[in-house]
Amino acid sequence: MSVFRFELETVLEQRRLEERRRMKAVGELERERLALEERVRGTQRSITDGREALRERLGGVPVMSDVLADETARPGAERRGVRVDVRSVRLQLNAALHAEVSLRRLATEMAGLQRRTEVARRDLMQAVIARKAVETLRERRYRAWRAEQARRELAEQDDLVVMRRGDEHASDRVEDITGDGSVRDIPAMVSALIRSES
């Protein structure tokens, strides 16, 4: 029995490898995205914690800009009976500004990463389509090969049946009408009758 061999098997294997490579690239970008999102969350927590610390240093005053305007003019001044350490407030504001700049930079990185991920996903989809095209061709060729195998098998069975019937017909011999006891086959008898009539 013959074995199915797909002549483009190496192409199919290459397409599978390419798909895996692109899948790995998308996975790496996804891991990078998760790490970047964690950094964004950390920076946002830092900003929130900084604001809370600033509120505590300002004595719970809700409007920071008014306090800063008054405090920068008179270092160590008091507001509503609360002493404010202007130097620590400045340090806290600088840290908050730095965190916000960092957050903007991370947002820019996230946007670039998003574009690269979209391109990688598009490339992955093209690789999947290319692989599936060759797999579909392989399946079609396999079905055609199986149909051809079935046809050949049927033809071989038909040949065997014809050969068996030929043997059976050869054994269908009858005695000659002359009664001499000799055995002749039917085609020979028919040709003898035709010759005798002519």
pLDDT digits (tens, 9 = 90+) for 53-65: 888 877 754 444 4
- Confidence check: pLDDT of 82 > 80: no
Residue 79 has what pLDDT? 47
**pTM of the predicted model as reported, rounded to 2 decimal places:** 0.59
Average pLDDT score over residue span 146-166: 87
Which residues are registered as beta bridge partners of 173?
185
Mean residue pLDDT across the chain: 81
Domains delineated in the chain? 9-197 (1.10.287.1700)
Q: Which residue has the higher pLDDT, 166 or 22?
A: 22
Give yes or no for a contact between 25 and 31, defined as CB atoms under 8 angstroms apart. no
E strand or H helix at 175, and its extent?
A: strand 173-175
Residue 173 has what pLDDT? 47
Q: For 25-40, what is each residue's pLDDT tens digit?
A: 999 999 999 999 999 9
**Is 130 in a helix, a strand, or coil?**
helix
Rounded to 5 degrees, what angle do the CA atoms 31, 33, 34 make? 65
Q: With CA atoms as reference, report the closest residue to 53 among 100, 101, 91.
A: 91
- Confidence check: pLDDT of 66 > 60: no
Q: For 7-19, what is each residue's pLDDT tens digit?
A: 999 999 999 999 9
What's the pLDDT band for 122 if we cut at 50, 70, 90?
A: very high
Q: What sign does the CA torsion over 72, 78, 79, 85 have? A: positive
E strand or H helix at 185, and its extent?
A: strand 183-185
Residue 50 has what pLDDT? 85
Tell me how far the alpha carbon of residue 119 is from its chain's centroid.
14
Residue 190 has what pLDDT? 66
Q: Which residue has the higher pLDDT, 86 or 111?
A: 111
Q: With CA atoms as reference, report the closest residue to 31 among 128, 124, 126, 120.
A: 120
- Rounded CA-CA distance 170/184 in Å is 10
Whole-number Cα distances in Å, 148 to 6, 138, 143, 155, 168: 15, 15, 9, 10, 30
What's the pLDDT band for 67 if we cut at 50, 70, 90?
A: very low
Q: Which of 90-94, 98-102, 113-117, 169-173 has the highest mean pLDDT?
A: 113-117
Give yes or no for a contact between 87 and 54, defined as CB atoms under 8 angstroms apart. no
- Find where tokens 């028919």 sit: 190
Q: Which residue has the higher pLDDT, 60 or 44?
A: 44
- Rounded CA-CA distance 184/173 in Å is 6
Q: Which two tokens stand for residue 23?
A: 């899948």
